[in-house]
Structure 1
Amino acid sequence: MNKAELIEAIATRSNTTKAQTTAMLNGLLEVIQETMASGNDVQLVGFGTFSVTERASREGRNPATGVTMTIPAKKVVKFKPSKTLSDAAVSVKKTNAAKSTMPKQTDKKK
């Protein structure tokens, strides 16, 4: 699902226009980005937590030349899904896996 599809789905469920929904979604994304840029986590109960952590510097290799180099430390964004979200995703995967492993029934006409 891309942003346009998400906006359409939210607008339909919330009985708002696409323009209103776009403004709300853009506002939400801006607030999350600004909060994380200031070093704070964003916790959405029932959905998950966005956080910024420091990744330590490490040694690596340039794949083209094979030369060893130091990869500098940097900040990275992490997302930890809530138990509710994880359970929902797992149940969907189990349902889809069960459907795909069932043998197909074919009607053979004689």
Structure 2
Amino acid sequence: MTKSELVEIIAEKQGGITRREAEVVVNTILSVIGDALAEGGHVELRGFGSFSTKQRNARLGRNPKTGDSVMVPAKTVPHFKPGKELRERVGSAS
């Protein structure tokens, strides 16, 4: 599902809002989550999951084209951990 498909579904299920209003809501939610993670925060949506950041250590990598060793610097990456309800819904969908 893409972001535009999500916007369409929200607009359809919520009869009182337009597609444009649904797009503003989706963009605002994603922006708030991104801002919180950029500040090193944690976002928890009960029943869905939690977003946080993890620190990756510096490591020695390889350039796949040349085979040369390259030092990959340490970095902070976003991380999502699904909640219990989401894990159960996905697990029972098989």
- The one-character-per-residue Cα deviations of 1:34-69 (angstroms, maximum 9, x if unpaired) are 111111011100111111111000111111222222
RMSD of aligned C-alpha atoms? 1.1
Gap regions ≥5 residues in structure 2: none
Aligned 1:34-45 pairs, distance under 5 A: 34-45=35-46
- Tell me how far apart the structure 2 counterparts of residues 66 and 76 of structure 1 sit (CA, whole Å): 25
Q: Which deviates the most, 53-62 or 11-20?
A: 11-20
- What is the TM-score normalised by the length of structure 2? 0.91
Q: What amino acid maps onto 1:62 in structure 2?
A: N
Q: Which has the larger radius of gyration?
A: 1
Structure 1 partner of 2:85: 84
Gap regions ≥5 residues in structure 1: 95-110
- What is the TM-score normalised by the length of structure 1? 0.79
Identity %: 42
- The one-character-per-residue Cα deviations of 1:63-106 (angstroms, maximum 9, x if unpaired) are 122222211101101100111111111111x2xxxxxxxxxxxx
Aligned 1:17-36 pairs, distance under 5 A: 17-36=18-37
- How many residues were matched structurally? 93
Q: Which has the higher contact order (CA 8 A, sep 6+)?
A: 2
Higher strand share: 2
